[in-house]
Amino acid sequence: MSDDPFMIQACSIESLGDQALLVRFGDEPTRECFDRIHAYDQAVHRLSIPGVIESVPAYTSLAVYYEPLVIDKFALRQALLEIKLSDAALRVADSGRELIVPVCYDQEFGEDLAYVAEVHHLTTEEVVAIHTAARYFVHMIGFLPGFPYLGGLSTRIATPRKKSPRTRVVAGSVGIAGTQTGVYPIDSPGGWQIIGRSPWKFFDSSAATPCRIRAGDTVKFNAITRNEFRIIEKELMVCNGA
């Protein structure tokens, strides 16, 4: 139940605990919704409102965290209500990159590829063809540092996540969960259906820009062979001084 929500440009602002406000921009993670969230996020940063600690974009909302001893929720809500988004601001927010991500869909890396194919009465080659044909929009980064949530997966291969998550999914693994696809940036537990793996490193805490993929980017997967995977992997190890 929302706490005395206010409407702002088809959004509502409500309490999120006692140290954050949640600005909602809709119910569906559309591209228009994404543009509004990130333009609004940039506006919050420009204002440098005293007491605001950080703002965190999600699929359809923006959480604004604050220090209640510096600013109370009513003053912050009023400041947020006064933010107005222009068409120019929305264009500025739309500045993502296009990335071609190499992925090996070999059985060694795509542990659940055969299962996904079986569920949809397709061959594994058809699943790969469908997965690599689309261009995916990065709606948000979450779950793990650098984990991209990609929209645009074909309903022909949309598959529920596993009933029992794996205790370890290897970094670079590409998975499907429902109508989403994504890439695990580090080794971690996970319940997505794994259909392949990329040799790229998607999160590096020592880098100036730790996340290789950012919200607002467009991603297209490019199928590579196991040999090509090993070559790219070796090249990256040399570049990183390993």
Q: Which of 163, 233, 242, 146 is nearest to 197 (CA)?
A: 233
DSSP string, 37-58: HHHHHHHHHHHT-TTEEEEEE-
Q: What is the pLDDT of residues 199-225, one digit of tens each?
A: 999 998 888 888 999 888 999 999 999
* Cβ-based burial of 40 (10 A; exposed 0-12, middle 13-18, buried ≥19): buried
Residues 108-113 have a mean pLDDT of 97
Q: Which residue has the higher pLDDT, 85 or 35?
A: 35
Q: Where are the domains of the chain?
A: 6-93, 98-239
CATH class in words for 98-239: mainly beta
Q: What is the pLDDT of residues 54-76, one digit of tens each?
A: 998 888 899 999 999 999 999 99
- Give the DSSP H/E element, type plus range, for residue 80: helix 73-81
The residues, any chain, with a CB within 8 Å of residue 163's CB and separated by 6 or more, are none
Q: Which of 130, 115, 105, 110 is nearest to 224 (CA)?
A: 105
- Domain 6-93: give its CATH architecture: 2-Layer Sandwich (3.30)
Q: What is the pLDDT of residue 7?
A: 45
6-93 and 98-239 share one fold: no
